[in-house]
Amino acid sequence: MGRCLAIGFETYDGTRKQFLISRRSAWCILASLVFLLLLGTLMPGAWRNGMEHEVHAPFAISHWAHFVIFLCIALVMRMRPLAWSTVRVILFALSLAFLTEGMQFFAIDRHPRWRDVGIDMSGAAMALSLIYFFSFFSKRHD
């Protein structure tokens, strides 16, 4: 396989499917996710509130967006071809969570909160838990 990521799973009929991603693509995905995160962080509070109001969601979409983005960032960083260590992924996610909360000092009508850091880190923790769970059961059934 070389430098490509192979995400494999078995279908119901027993065949094995794989998706390949190159190292360059993984870095591009990671950069895109961080860019979206930083762009959303610097969005003025009135814009964010207006967008959430237009969707008519019964929950704060921005919190879910942060959870999902941090989950995806941790998945991309932990899986091959990047395959960062768990400690490195946690430190990067924590640094990014503090950076995004600190940047809210400069955004109009936005305020940093410890709860938001917790939401970000719970997304990263969920990704690491999923990777551990699936790798544990894939090794056990091989």
Question: What's the pLDDT tens digit per position in 36-81?
Answer: 999 888 888 787 778 777 887 777 788 899 999 999 999 999 988 8
**Residue 97's pLDDT band (cuts 50, 70, 90):** very high
Q: Indicate left, alpha or beta for 84 from its phi (over 0: left) and psi (-120 to 50: alpha).
A: beta
Higher pLDDT, 3 or 33: 33
pLDDT of 4 strictly over 50: no
**For range 102-116, the mean pLDDT:** 88
Q: What tokens appear for 6 in the block?
A: 């192979």
Partner residues linked to 9 by β-bridges? 17
Mean pLDDT of 122-131: 96
Sign of the torsion angle spanned by Cα atoms 8, 11, 15, 17: negative
Q: What pLDDT is recorded for position 2?
A: 39
pLDDT for residue 141: 58
Structure tokens at 99: 């950076």
What average pLDDT does the chain have?
Answer: 84
Tokens (6 digits) for 54: 């237009």
92 close to 77: Cβ distance less than 8 angstroms: yes
To the nearest whole percent, how much of the chain has pLDDT over 90? 50
More confident residue, 94 or 52: 94
| This prediction's pTM | 0.81
CA gap 117, 126 in Å, rounded: 14
E-assigned strands of the chain? 5-10, 16-21
Q: 87-116: string of b/e by CB count within 10 Å (b at 16+)?
A: eebbebbeebbeebbeebeebeebebeeeb
